[in-house]
Amino acid sequence: MARFVRKNKDEIGRAPDELFYRGEKKIDEVLIRVIDFDSKNLNEQPVKDITEAIAYQDMKTVTWLNIDGLHNKELMLDIAKGFHLDELVLANVMNTSSRPTVQEFDNCIFLSIKMLQLNEEHGTLTVENLSLILTKSVLISFQEKKGDVFEPIRERIRKNRKRIRNGWTDYLTFALLDIVIDNYIYILSVLGEKIEILEENIGNHPNKSTIRKINDYKRELNFLRRNIRPAKEMILTLSKLESEFIFDSTYIHFQELRDNMNQAIDSSDSYREILTDQLNLYHTSVSTKLNDIMKFLTIFSVIFIPLTFIAGIYGTNFDNVPELHYQYSYYIMWAAMIFVAILMLIYFKKRNWF
Amino acid sequence: MARFVRKNKDEIGRAPDELFYRGEKKIDEVLIRVIDFDSKNLNEQPVKDITEAIAYQDMKTVTWLNIDGLHNKELMLDIAKGFHLDELVLANVMNTSSRPTVQEFDNCIFLSIKMLQLNEEHGTLTVENLSLILTKSVLISFQEKKGDVFEPIRERIRKNRKRIRNGWTDYLTFALLDIVIDNYIYILSVLGEKIEILEENIGNHPNKSTIRKINDYKRELNFLRRNIRPAKEMILTLSKLESEFIFDSTYIHFQELRDNMNQAIDSSDSYREILTDQLNLYHTSVSTKLNDIMKFLTIFSVIFIPLTFIAGIYGTNFDNVPELHYQYSYYIMWAAMIFVAILMLIYFKKRNWF
Amino acid sequence: MARFVRKNKDEIGRAPDELFYRGEKKIDEVLIRVIDFDSKNLNEQPVKDITEAIAYQDMKTVTWLNIDGLHNKELMLDIAKGFHLDELVLANVMNTSSRPTVQEFDNCIFLSIKMLQLNEEHGTLTVENLSLILTKSVLISFQEKKGDVFEPIRERIRKNRKRIRNGWTDYLTFALLDIVIDNYIYILSVLGEKIEILEENIGNHPNKSTIRKINDYKRELNFLRRNIRPAKEMILTLSKLESEFIFDSTYIHFQELRDNMNQAIDSSDSYREILTDQLNLYHTSVSTKLNDIMKFLTIFSVIFIPLTFIAGIYGTNFDNVPELHYQYSYYIMWAAMIFVAILMLIYFKKRNWF
Amino acid sequence: MARFVRKNKDEIGRAPDELFYRGEKKIDEVLIRVIDFDSKNLNEQPVKDITEAIAYQDMKTVTWLNIDGLHNKELMLDIAKGFHLDELVLANVMNTSSRPTVQEFDNCIFLSIKMLQLNEEHGTLTVENLSLILTKSVLISFQEKKGDVFEPIRERIRKNRKRIRNGWTDYLTFALLDIVIDNYIYILSVLGEKIEILEENIGNHPNKSTIRKINDYKRELNFLRRNIRPAKEMILTLSKLESEFIFDSTYIHFQELRDNMNQAIDSSDSYREILTDQLNLYHTSVSTKLNDIMKFLTIFSVIFIPLTFIAGIYGTNFDNVPELHYQYSYYIMWAAMIFVAILMLIYFKKRNWF
Amino acid sequence: MARFVRKNKDEIGRAPDELFYRGEKKIDEVLIRVIDFDSKNLNEQPVKDITEAIAYQDMKTVTWLNIDGLHNKELMLDIAKGFHLDELVLANVMNTSSRPTVQEFDNCIFLSIKMLQLNEEHGTLTVENLSLILTKSVLISFQEKKGDVFEPIRERIRKNRKRIRNGWTDYLTFALLDIVIDNYIYILSVLGEKIEILEENIGNHPNKSTIRKINDYKRELNFLRRNIRPAKEMILTLSKLESEFIFDSTYIHFQELRDNMNQAIDSSDSYREILTDQLNLYHTSVSTKLNDIMKFLTIFSVIFIPLTFIAGIYGTNFDNVPELHYQYSYYIMWAAMIFVAILMLIYFKKRNWF
């Protein structure tokens, strides 16, 4: 899981349209799926060869071409040729380390966004780059590896939900991005629940696992924020984009995306704030506890100091120490000691020191 | 009380116009209230069936339809059909976890905002989503549960107050939002008074209840801020909205909403600042007190150290310690000890150590 | 002195145009003063009844109507009627807890700003809401209580200063606001001088009065900032306002107001910065001093520890301790002790510990 | 050296166009210098009376009138009359405590900026207000006292440098402001060098002079920032000003001013950051050193504690303590003590405590 | 390596178009390289004299003139004359301490940006100013010293890559800037890897080399940020520039530059955040460790205090201490001591103090 954009020395100076896949190959064979539909007809079938998919390309129906796996350079070239796209667009698709962006080309819009997924079993997060190429009647989506994250949309298409079946590629784009952002919010929710559980323990029993958890959650949250924040700009740009490929009726949906995105950012900001407060609270608790211990121990020691001094006085070997020879001296010494100790305790108590 | 937006796994990928109520059912039966008025006539009556309410829908009078309870999906569909609204609008109404927003549709404006209410008996805050659908002559308001928060407006309508009886749905919208924002300011006032009371105690007697209170207020304030801040954007958008449903004369009122909103944000920022200052002051007080104790105890100990040493010297068993055998040695030792102790006290005093 | 906006429960839901004075009644009787002038004539006289003032209302001369005291609801209604103003404007005037604002109405501009005044004898600050209603030929200014803060302007009018006698109500508005902002800067100057005096003492003799002063000044500055900052926005809006009541030649003066306002904000930001630095410096001084004391005491104690140990050794009652029986043992012990002490002192000195 | 804008009580309420010099009189007699030039001719001569200078005022040549000393009110009035300027402009010139600003008047542009100068001998900074009045053919510059800061420009004019001799008053304005900003950068450079020298010492030998220097530099930097930052806005406004007095070809130079200004701000931001880091580093060093001392002393004390206890045991006077009577008990005690001490040292070492 | 912009006293007041090279002379002889190409022809050859290069200047082919070394004033004048450029442009080229900027001139665009390069052997960073002068058919690039950083572009030209061979000077400009920004990201990557390696050690074994590394990385990162941030503005300005020299098709590439730039800034912000977290974590670790040690030592001491006191009691020389004379007193004392010690340990354990 690459946490930040990385550049190797040999990548400097490549042409922007050079088809070069810098990521790791996460899937063996490229998987091509096509759904072609309009309000009445639906055509969904596995596709072996990209030429089959290109054949769907016409103005009457919406074609959603989903491609899992980006390492096949020839396929990319075929797509570029088949759909009359600039090679630069496909080079962007293969550059999985790019920042979420919207780019308008002559005959298509290119979108890319980070897709976050939580593996609930292992509690690990995976980041994947999702690229979308949007033309009038074709939407090509590229994922780094096989995934069923967009299955709910396929279901909605299959179940003949009106809005999606009547919509064009722009509405389909919205539906895909909506799932991506819903996943952001879902992942934030899961993290948020863990943070709130932590909150209840923090004031009472602070221990080293508390601080480790806070730091872990902070790191996790920062990781999320780094991936989510740039998407906000991208969604904002999209919601303001004027393009022949986007119908007026779709803007209300893009606005919804923007609202959801803002909500995700708001949440992450709040969690960040809470974690900072928790950290401060933890430090306060720890230092209060330490101070209490030290104060107790110091007061304990201080009470014995004059007592030990008195004992020391009567341990001296002077020839003439009158007190040593009275019969009840020893008991008087004890009494004096207890009296001094009680006096000190009263004084400390009165000054509210413990 | 859901503190942040939450997403469950199974909510990801739903269609945006799916009528799905994700909140808890806070009321058993949906309550429908209608007030229909113009400057001369007033018609207020309980309504059993939504079709009665739909009947009021005409261009001559203002109809305010208030619906408490959002869980009834059929009702929502009836409303959509009856008032010719896009189902998406009603889906938004049912999505109570959304961010405050203003959305323009073809034949209506949709507004949503968080409504905060303080239960003064228990000191608890409840958050509720208020949705408004604004058409030329109908204003539909949706609350999650039955409430009398808008009673003052009904009173103003009943009492034939000119401005509200002459106004249209836009003025009614203003009146409703005004109450919501007044409640924000009221709740902030109540919290603010508690914070100011705290301030007077903080320097003098800092104790654990002080720090607990500061942290509680901080958490409460953050909760308020999280709910209020997004409303600011929504109010700003509203005050700039150009729509056929909003008359020019109403903008001065929307501007007032904006000013009040800014005042609420200003207050919350100030309280936040004050709490931070209080926290710092508390820590300073606590550490000053601890330092004073430690300094006292250390000085106390240090004074006994040379005394105990002197006693130790004359507790040795050397055959030849001349001092041991003078008659007044013991008294001289005492004198020396007192002299040393006083010397040390003078030195410490002179260096301003206590 | 209300520090923040407050809302009582029963104020929620009032109509925006309800004439309701929420402040305390600071003056018994409302005081009305009128100055009517053009470049040639001047008419200044006490006015008992508002109808006398309304009579001045014509297009040829400038009429400045100053009203001290806001609690008289009937008077407000008379003014509204007499000058043909919307009741909403007068309701705004009576709402003294509002945020500084500029509102354009059909036949007037409404301005409100916080007026700060320093009572130099008691060192207390008072806040008052100043409202201005500006029409073509009439400027009505409302103060909460009687004050002579605008006397210099009356003087300039009386002394026939050209610019003010030739100007219209817009120039008069500038002159009034200029005095308000000059007072901001003056009050900041007075606070600033106290802060700079503090600065000289802070490094040398930090004591509890220092920290109390810093916290007092900080609180005072925050109070000023809370009142001044919102005025900045109001002045900015004013300096950009396009209205028939404001002549082009007056904009250069509004720009000056804006510059002065920015200067006030700059100053307050700088003082804030300085106070934060002083607080840090104070804490550094205090902790440095404490550390020095603790280090001294610890080193003092540590030097006695091995000496007391040596004395302890020779206080044991073993039958066979050869050293006890040599003649000079006792003196040798003393020598050894002094030697050890000096060695330790040299070591500590060499390591730069004191 | 006035650090912030100050307002005295009696300055409140003055008319904006009242010619009132609030600064201290820094020069006895006002000094007037005129340079009149076009691409071919140059006329430079001392001027006794302002009327001589006014005579140069025509459209064919550029006249640069430099006036040192602002306290002469009559002179200001003569200038206003002679060059047909609004008295407000001259009042602005005399108000040396104003914020850097650009103001467009009907027949002139007024600029003011703070001029900083470093007296390298004494290491002191002086601040002076520079005012410029720019008309088509005349540039009047006002300084508070005599200075040779603009001598390089006079040199460039004398040496017949093409760009300045062909330029108009706008280019001359640029040249003057360029020197002012170059001085900002120079003063920042000098401070910056001192800061970087400090950096090398900070980690190794932190002492009280280090912290004093950091605080001094911080204060100096804050002072610079307070004077430089407002100039940025002024330069930005100037670079966007559309005026008949500014030729298109001069904008590229104003843009350069803006770049230089940004560079100055960038530098000052960086130095601020560095000083904050240095302060943190200093505190870390000091506390690390203190902790090391305390740890050493504590470990030292702790080692003696069980030893002194053992000695105490055998100093008891019980009748029956068998160990006291063995022949080698005393030596065994010594051995036991050394053994315990070594054990403790090993334990502490192993736990990496020193 | 100059860390900040510097101004010497004698540089103040120079004319903006004075050709003055303020940097150090980093190369002995100026090196001139020319590549002239269109889609079909390529002409690359070393050039001795600038006049040869000027000869290439025509409208049909793209000429890339690369000049290494800026100290030759005559050469600059020849270039200005040969390509009909304003001398100001060349003065800008020679001013290597300027801020990254884009300036439009009548017949050219001037760009400057900082070029960062990492010497991987020594781990040192070098900063160099890159200036570009862009006309319709000629791109002149100026570097301070000979470098092969642009070799990949020459390769792409030689290898007849379509996009670069068909492109004009604007595309070439993009290609050069792309390499500069790729280098930013690469250098950040290298630093980032070091930071991440550090992260793994920080919680476990904090030591002085950790803190030194954090501070070193922080300083390095601040240095990078200072050089990269201003470039962002420059790239943004470029991507919005409307000029006859920039074709529409190139904007998509400039947008890519902007995205990359934002990515670099994002990364640097994230690393900054991580370093701050690491610093806090380090301080927490160190203080936790210190607290643990101190707590241990204090508890250890405190346990011995009552024991030593007991021993002291029985070291007194009173005539009548009954306990001294029982046979098993000594053993009872031992038992009592052990009992007290265990009691204290249990108490401390129970209160969770160690």
What pLDDT, in 10s, does the model give residues E297-307?
Answer: 999 999 999 99
Residues 6+ apart with CB under 8 A from B72: B30
Q: What is the pLDDT of residues C284-322, one digit of tens each?
A: 888 888 898 999 999 999 999 999 999 999 999 999 899
Q: Is residue C310 in a domain?
A: no
What's the rounded Cα separation, in Å, for the pair B297 and B311? Answer: 21
Q: Chain D residue with minimal CA distance to C153?
A: D13
Are C206 and C163 in the same domain? Answer: yes
B91/B19 Cα distance (integer angstroms): 5
Q: What are the chain C neighbours of B304 within 8 Å (beta carbons)?
A: none
Q: Does residue B189 sit in the same domain as residue B327? A: no
Q: How distant is the Cα of A13 from the closest Cα of chain E, in angstroms?
A: 5
Question: Cβ separation of A295 and B300 shorter than 8 Å?
Answer: no
Tell me whether residue C309 is in a domain.
no
* C301 part of a folded domain: no
Q: Do D320 and E327 touch (CB under 8 A)?
A: yes
Write out pLDDT tens, residues D297-307.
999 999 999 99
Residue of A nearest to E264 (CA): A5
**A160 or C111, greater pLDDT:** C111
Q: Which of A283, A304, A334 is the last residue of a domain?
A: A283
pLDDT digits (tens, 9 = 90+) for C209-240: 888 899 999 999 999 998 899 999 999 999 98
Distance from the Cα of D284 to chain E's closest Cα (Å) equals 9
CB pairs under 8 A between D and E: 142
- Give the closest of D7, D290, D311 to C316, CB-based: D311
**What is residue E201's predicted lDDT score, i.e. its pLDDT?**
75
* pLDDT at residue number D212: 87
Same domain, D335 and D251: no
Question: Considering the domain boundaries, does residue E38 fall inside one?
Answer: yes
**Residue C311 is nearest to which of B178, B284, B316, comparing CB atoms?**
B316
Q: Are residues D40 and D135 in the same domain?
A: yes
pLDDT the model gives residue E130: 94
pLDDT band at D28 (very low <50, low <70, confident <90, very high): confident
Please tell me whether residues D45 and D164 are part of one structural domain: yes
* Averaged pLDDT of chain A: 88
Contact D5 C153 (CB under 8 A): no
Share of chain C above pLDDT 90, in %: 44
Paired tokens of B25: 């059912």
Q: Which residue of E has its CA nearest to A314?
A: E316
Angle at B282 between CA B277 and CA B288, to 5 degrees: 125
Residue B100 has pLDDT above 80, yes or no: yes
Highest mean pLDDT, choosing among B89-98, C115-124, E4-13, E128-137: E128-137
Burial class (CB in 10 A: 0-12, 13-18, 19+), B29: exposed
Query: Tens digits of per-residue pLDDT, A52-71?
Result: 888 888 768 899 999 998 88
Instruction: Give mean pLDDT, residues E334-340.
Output: 95
pLDDT band at E2 (very low <50, low <70, confident <90, very high): very low
- Indicate the pLDDT class of residue E212, thresholds 50, 70 and 90: confident
Mutation target to probe the C interface, by most C beta carbons within 10 A, among D1, D3, D11, D12 is D12
Looking at the fold, whether D142 and D257 belong to one and the same domain comes out as yes
Query: Which strands sit side by side in the sheet containing B62-68, from one edge to the other?
Result: B42-47, B31-37, B62-68, B138-143, B124-134, B109-119, B101-104
Give the separation between CA D53 and CA A74, rounded to whole angstroms.
81
pLDDT (mean) for E241-258: 90
Residues B58 and B108 in one domain: yes
Beta carbons of C263 and D99 less than 8 Å apart: yes
- Asked if residue E118 and residue E220 are part of one domain, the reply reads yes
Instruction: State phi, psi for C64 to the nearest 5 degrees.
Output: -110, 115
- Nearest-neighbour CA in chain C from D31: distance (Å): 29
For residue E5, name the pLDDT band (cuts at 50, 70, 90). low
**ipTM value of the model?**
0.81
CB-count exposure of residue B259 (10 Å: 0-12, 13-18, 19+): buried
CB A259 within 8 A of CB A177: no
Name which of D266, D295, D312 is nearest E230 (Cβ-Cβ). Answer: D266
The answer to the question of residue E2 being in a domain is no
Residues of chain E contacting residue D262, judged by C-beta atoms under 8 Å apart: 99, 230
Q: Which residue has the tokens 């010492």?
A: D201
Q: Which two tokens stand for residue C244?
A: 């028939």
Q: Which of chain D's residues have a Cβ under 8 Å away from the Cβ of C191?
A: none
CB nearest to C13's CB, from B179, B185, B318: B179
Residue B136 lies in a domain: yes
Cβ–Cβ < 8 Å for A142, A127: no
Q: How far is CA E174 from the centre of its chain?
A: 22
Q: What is the pLDDT of residue B211?
A: 87
Inter-chain touch C3–B196, beta carbons under 8 Å:
yes
Residues E254 and E324 in one domain: no
> Is C156 close to D15, i.e. CB distance below 8 A?
yes
Q: Is E7 in contact with D189 (Cβ distance < 8 A)?
A: yes
C78 has a pLDDT exceeding 80 = yes
Q: What local confidence, expressed as pLDDT, does residue D56 receive?
A: 83
Chain B residue numbers touching C307 (CB-CB < 8 A) = 309
**Which of B254, B305, B351 is most worth mutating to test chain C (most C CB atoms within 10 A of its CB)?**
B305
Nearest to A179 among B13, B208, B298 (CB): B13
Contact list in B for residue C98 (CB cut-off 8 A) is 259, 263
In angstroms, how far apart are the furthest CA atoms of chain E? 122
Residues E268 and E335 in one domain: no
Pick the last residue of a domain from E283, E302, E327: E283
How much is the average pLDDT of B78-105? Answer: 90
Whole-number pLDDT of residue B203: 67
Model pLDDT, residue E318: 92
Among chain C residues, the shortest Cα distance to B182 is held by C12
Q: Can you give the pLDDT at residue B72?
A: 86
Q: What local confidence, expressed as pLDDT, does residue A176 receive?
A: 94
Q: How far is D237 from chain E (nearest CA, A)?
A: 18
Asked if residue B302 is part of any domain, the answer here is no
Tally of domains within chain D: 2
Beta bridge partners of E64: E35, E139
Which of E274, E287, E317, E340 is the best substitution to test chain A (most A C-beta atoms within 10 A)?
E317
Pairing of strands B138-143, B62-68: parallel
Has residue E288 got a pLDDT over 90? no
pTM (two decimals): 0.85
Hey, are the CB atoms on B156 and C304 less than 8 Å from each other?
no
| pLDDT category of residue C1 using cuts at 50, 70 and 90 | very low
Looking at the structure, tell me whether residues D329 and D236 fall in a common domain. Answer: no
Determine the pLDDT at residue B64. Answer: 93
How confident is residue A4, by pLDDT bands cut at 50, 70 and 90? low
Angstrom distance (rounded) from CA A76 to CA E143: 38
Could you tell me which chain E residue has the CA closest to the CA of D184? E7
Between residues D253 and C59, the one the model is more confident about:
D253
D267 and E15 within 8 Å at the Cβ level: the answer is: no
Could you report the per-residue pLDDT of C84-109, keeping only the tens digit for each?
A: 999 889 999 998 888 899 999 988 99
List chains touching A (3+ CB pairs under 8 A). Answer: B, E
Band (E52; pLDDT cuts 50, 70, 90): confident
Flag if C315 and B312 touch (Cβ within 8 Å): yes
Scanning chain C, the segments in alpha helix (DSSP H) are 50-55, 73-82, 87-94, 151-158, 162-166, 169-202, 208-240, 251-313, 329-350
pLDDT at C58 over 50: yes
Q: What is the percentage of chain D residues whose pLDDT exceeds 90?
A: 43
Give yes or no for residue C258 having a pLDDT over 70: yes
Residue that finishes a domain, picked among E259, E283, E307? E283
Q: C259 CA to chain D: closest CA distance, Å?
A: 7
| A2 — pLDDT class (breaks 50, 70, 90) | very low
Q: Using one digit for the tens of pLDDT, what is the confidence trace for D67-118? A: 998 888 888 899 999 999 998 899 889 888 888 999 999 889 999 999 998 8
Q: Is residue E305 part of a domain?
A: no
Residue A270, helix vs strand vs coil: helix
pLDDT of residue E51: 85
The stretch B224-250 carries a mean pLDDT of 90
Closest Cβ opposite residue E295 in set A98, A293, A327:
A293
A1 pLDDT band, cuts 50/70/90, is very low
Q: Which of B174, B185, B259 has the CB atom closest to C7's CB atom?
A: B185
Regarding whether A158 and A42 lie in a shared domain, the answer is yes
| CATH number of the structural domain spanning residue E235 | 3.30.460.20
CA-based angle A207:A213:A216, to the nearest 5? 145
Task: Write phi, then psi, for D200 (nearest 5 degrees).
Answer: -70, -30
Give the range of the structural domain holding residue C339, as residue numbers without chain letter.
Answer: 316-354
CA distance A116 to A186: 10
**Interchain pair A211, E284: CB under 8 A:** yes
Query: Which of E186, E203, E183, E191 lies closest to E272 in space, CA to CA?
Result: E191
